[in-house]
Amino acid sequence: MFAFIIRRALQAIGVLFAVGIISFAMFRFAGDPVNQIVSLDTPAAEREQVRRSLGLDDPVPLQFVRYLAKAAQGDFGVSYQFRQPVADLLTERMPATLELALCATLFATGFGVLMGVYSGLKRDSFLAKVFQTISLIGISLPTFLIGILLIYLFSVTLGWLPSYGRGDTVRLGWWTTGFLTLSGLKALIMPSITLGLFQMTLIMRIVRAEMLEVLRTDYIKFARARGLTTRAVHFGHALKNTLVPVITIVGLQFGSVIAFAIITETVFQWPGMGLLFVQAVQNVDIPIMAAYLMLVALIFVAINLAVDILYTIVDPRLRTTIRQPA
Amino acid sequence: MADAIQAVPTPQAQPTTWAGRFLDSDVWSSFKRSKLTMAAAFLTLLFMAAAVLAGFVAPQDPFDPAQLDLLNSRLPPLWEADGQAPFLLGTDEQGRDIFSAILYGLRISLAVGFLGVAFSATLGIALGLIAGYVGGTTDAVIMRIADVQLTFPAILIALLVDGVVKSVLGGQLDGVTTLSVLVFSIGLSFWVQYARTVRGSVMVEKNKDYIAAARLIGLPAPVIMVRHVLPNVLGPVLVIATINLALAIITEATLSFLGTGMPETMPSLGTLIRIGNNYLFSGEWWIVAFPGFSLALLVLAINLLGDWLRDALNPKLR
């Protein structure tokens, strides 16, 4: 098991290294780092001097190592459009994205499991068919259309919820939170639903399929034969076993939720990292794009590794199979 | 009546023409059995026809500024009190007929979708064939790249490629160049699935006798790959391509909605939704509603077709 974790960690480092190369190539070749420092009308000689002082004359591998070393210390260069260090911009916006992603995941898991269990237990009921239809819509409708639809319903027509921004936030150290004010919580509702809907349908489908599978197994029959109540059989025995894949999916999807927040944040003008990234793409702000890529890669890889390790702890069968030589 | 009897083939007389074999196949009979699939196919064809014939059907050319009249701006659909003919679904800020804009936008969305799928499929199939057939280090390198790319959602890759290509090209891009950039970025974000599927099938196929025979008569590797291996691995590719068509259309719409896709002078469905979104609060719901509805319907129809094709081509489910 230890060897397994080591191998996974090495793979993770490999992925990060590859992303580092891509991000460096973008930073170095797609955008000219000199432009970060000089203005448009700087003479060529002065540009050349800046180029030399930045070490852009050095061999490319040396520059790459320097770039990685700086990135590891949290220095991603300066944004073209904001003239501010990219790291500061990202830290400032990270809380907004993480809070949104957390709420979306909670929404998706809660409703996904409930709807999945219900449609697994009563697969022919009317409500189960409604859930199936919702899941088809959740997969077919592009995220931004769902967001627009919600805004039209709850902001324009009914006027219940704010259509953009985070509402009032409270500062706790460097972290800003919308959890502590009423307007902050209200502002979270629609973006969380928009972002979580796809994950919700995914979880619902998995739970439903797993429930149907588990209910057919022998130990459920034995539990029934022992005279346990239906409730105990369904929730004590069946549901527990469907939750392992759900935990995996929720974990693995958290990275995707953060990446998909790009779209939701644009629809709701949510001041997070995704909106920053979209503005960077629109204005060809390469340092932000490169840094965002590295950051998302780090989050993805860390989550994958954590899920792998958790899996070996949760499921003892995996430990024995891993020990056997492949 | 006589035709109907003739059309039923007997096991002894296999139909030899391409059309005959198709009508005899399980795929066709499963198509005839599913009403939902037929409706989806009809809708998809309708959308495609509308896109191709946009120039004849649309009352206005929305790309031609000379045909737009600001006096006609922000008119509601025809059935509302202030609606005016010929603007069936109303007009936008610039006096552009929404119905015409949807037809022309559909054309761009479908073009980007099809070209993107064609590009990613070609790239994925080629890399998958090479990886599976050659094996060794080549295989390892290609599949490692695929693994790394698979860690990220396609939309993120597409956005990144889009941004990088634009920064390399620099300056303001015209409509056609933007369209090519979109096709390129969508193609680069969806090739992995093809490559993995094709590689898997090639690994199975290449150990079979007919490949050994082809090698023995001295055919060069590229010929074996394309003429002998490729036709036998195309089934699953078709399914992926159909489902990816819907994904490619959504990705294009998303990029355009985010403001990194088609410009407002040459709008796709996504751009139309982006424009319409600005008027949601002033009560002009039709500017965003109809393009949005068209996009959703198109994607739903293609998804249904893809689902059906996956089941129809999968012998295990029969």
> pLDDT tens, A204-220?
888 888 888 888 888 88
Average pLDDT, chain A: 81
Is the CB of residue B168 less than 8 Å away from at least one CB of chain A? yes
Is the CB of residue A148 less than 8 Å away from at least one CB of chain B? yes
> pLDDT tens, A93-138?
888 899 999 999 999 999 998 888 888 888 788 888 888 888 877 7
Tell me the mean pLDDT per 10 residues along chain B, length 318. Answer: 49 63 71 80 88 78 70 70 69 77 89 94 92 87 84 84 81 79 90 90 86 87 85 83 89 89 84 84 80 89 84 64
Q: What is the ipTM of this complex?
A: 0.79
pTM, entire model: 0.82
Nearest to A142 among B148, B250, B259 (CB): B250
Which of A227-236, A304-313, B2-11 comes out lowest in average pLDDT?
A: B2-11
Which one-letter amino acid corresponds to residue B132? Answer: G
Search chain A and give the residue with CA nearest B165.
Answer: A30
- Residues of B with Cβ-Cβ distance to A260 under 8 angstroms: 153, 155
> pLDDT tens, A182-197?
888 888 889 999 999 8
Helix (H) or strand (E) holding A172: strand A170-172
Search chain B and give the residue with CA nearest A257.
Answer: B153
Search chain A and give the residue with CA nearest B243.
Answer: A140
pLDDT in the model for residue A326: 36
Cβ-defined contact of B159 to A145 (cutoff 8 Å)? no
> pLDDT tens, A43-73?
777 777 777 776 777 777 888 888 888 877 8
Search chain A and give the residue with CA nearest B259.
Answer: A282
> pLDDT tens, A144-189?
888 888 888 888 878 788 878 787 777 877 788 877 788 888 888 8
How many angstroms separate the CA of residue A145 from the nearest CA in chain B? Answer: 7
pLDDT in the model for residue B121: 93
pLDDT in the model for residue A234: 80
Interface test with B, best of A148, A201, A283 (most B CBs within 10 A): A148
Cβ-defined contact of A259 to B155 (cutoff 8 Å)? yes
